[in-house]
Structure formats: C-alpha cells, structure tokens
Structure 1
Amino acid sequence: MEKKTFGLQVMSTNGIFYNDRASEIILPCIDGEYAILAEHEELVLAIYDGKMTIRDAIGDKIIAIVGRGSCQVANNRVIVLVDTCEKPEDIDRHRAQRALERAEEEMRQNKSIREYYTAQAAMARALSRLKNSSDYGID
C-alpha cells in the first residue's frame, strides 16, 4: 500500500528549506505540537519557536529548529513560512549562547515595552536553538 502524501513547502527568510512531497509534518504551536497528515482539513496555524519534524514521502525523518511563523493547509498542500529554519547540526551553539546573554541583558534594562518584547522573543529563539541542538549532541 502506497503511503499518502501531500505537497509541502517550508520557507524562511534564508530561502526554501523543503519543497517536496511529505507524509507528515509536526509543528511547534503555542499549546504543544500539531501534526498534519495527507488530506488534512483546511486551517491556518501560528508556529512558535521549537522543533519541526518532517517525514518525507518514503518515511525518512527531517528535523529542523524553526522560529515563529505560520502554516496554511489547503487542497492537500501545506505552506510553512517561518522567520528562521535550520537543521540542529547547523546551529552554532556559541553564537546562540551569546544571543541569549544579549537578550537577557536587554530584558534587565528598563526600556520600552516594545524593546522588552523584542528581547523576550530573541531570548525564546536562543533558548530553543540551544535546547534543540543539545538534544542531538551538538557542541
């Protein structure tokens, strides 16, 4: 029996991460992970910083760490737009640690609400990158 698939395109500000058939995608959402399979009903999702898992047409797993964005599901096609998308092994842990430290310092300073939220988002992104890269033994 042939595995059911759907068209999947994952794009970030750095370009196209994935553009092929897939059998499943699991996305990080505000209240946990959300899985999408072939012939899923139409919907739009908000994506949060975290780990995205793709199962391609033959069942191989592709892991990526994504930033915030959105996902649209319609007509057996899924489009994911995120601000960042990278494989765990491509994460520079030292750079992510420095970004975390900068964000923490920004949050300690008394600045505007907007600057506070920007620093908070940067901190969440850095923590997600550090956590998920360490899950795969990357130093």
Structure 2
Amino acid sequence: MNDLHTFGLRVISINGVFYDGRAKCIILPCIDGERAIQANHEEMWVAIYAGIIKIQKPDDTWIECVCGYGSIQVANNRCTVISDTIEKPEDIDLKRAQEALEIAKEKVRQKNSIAEYRLSQAAMARALSRLKAGSKINLH
C-alpha cells in the first residue's frame, strides 16, 4: 500500500487502544455532523460526540466502534482520537443499552438543573449510539 494515501491513526480510550496503525479514512461524530479525515488533512483539534466511528483500513475494509465524548487531533499526517469510552459493536449488551436509554429518557423528563439535563441528554445519545451499532451486528 502506498503511504501517500494513508495516515497514522491511533484510537484510544481509558480502557486501552482500539486501533493503532495506518488508515485511509476515519469518519467521526462531531457537533455539526460527521467529519471525515483522510491522508494529509489540515491540522486541527476538534471535539467528538457520542456516536459511531468508522475506520477504513489500508486494505479498504471498514471497522466500526461506538465512542463516547472526546477529541481528535490531526497533525503531520497523523490522527489521534481520545474518547472516554470505545466499544466494539459486538460487545454491546443491547438489553443493558435499552435500559440505559429508558433511564436517561426519564431523567430528561424530570425537572432538574441544566447540568443534570445535559448529562441526561449525553446519556441518551450514548445509549442510542450503542443500540444503533449493536443492532447492526446482532441482525446479521
């Protein structure tokens, strides 16, 4: 594989390294939608939100993971993704994710402080991302 079309990618969370190697593309969940990073992308530092990360490996296969909140840094044809949580779709417990979603929905409905409301919204977003990714795997 020609390194001109790839970049160094490292995807990590507090639980360890999810991916460390070359990649053609990574698609990340950001506040304004998905953002794709490819080789020789401009330098930047961006926040990421709970959602699904898609990685295109040099052999053109794709892998996915569910991430929590974090950030990405792109510099010198390298991308580092740091997230509070990263899960493989096949490791997601759909029943537990559905229960977490119901709890978060109930907390959003309650009259709480702005901070509690935002935490509940974040929990809802994470649960929905986990259900979406986990359902794809479990339907096959």
Q: TM-score, normalised by structure 2?
A: 0.90
Number of the residue aligned with 1:96: 97
1:22-42 Cα deviation digits (max 9, x unpaired): 111111112221111111110
In the alignment, structure 2 segments of 5+ residues that lack a partner are none
Distance in 1 (alpha carbons) for counterparts of 2:136 and 2:31: 20
Matched residue, 1:49? 50
Structure 2 CA distance for aligned equivalents of residues 137 and 24 of structure 1: 25
Superposition RMSD on alpha carbons, in Å? 1.7
Once residues 96 and 26 of structure 2 are traced to their aligned partners in structure 1, the CA distance between those partners, rounded to angstroms, is 28
CA distance in structure 2 between the partners assigned to 1:24 and 1:110 by the alignment: 42
Amino acid at match of 1:2: N
Q: Residue 2 of structure 2 corresponds to which residue in structure 1?
A: 2
Q: Give the match for residue 123 of structure 1.
A: 124
TM-score normalised to the size of structure 1? 0.91
% identity of equivalent residues: 58
Greater displacement, 56-65 / 87-96:
56-65
CA contact (8 A) 1:21 1:56 kept: yes
Structure 1 residue identity aligned to 2:26? I
**1:113 corresponds to which residue?**
114
- The structure whose residues are more often helix, as a share, is 2
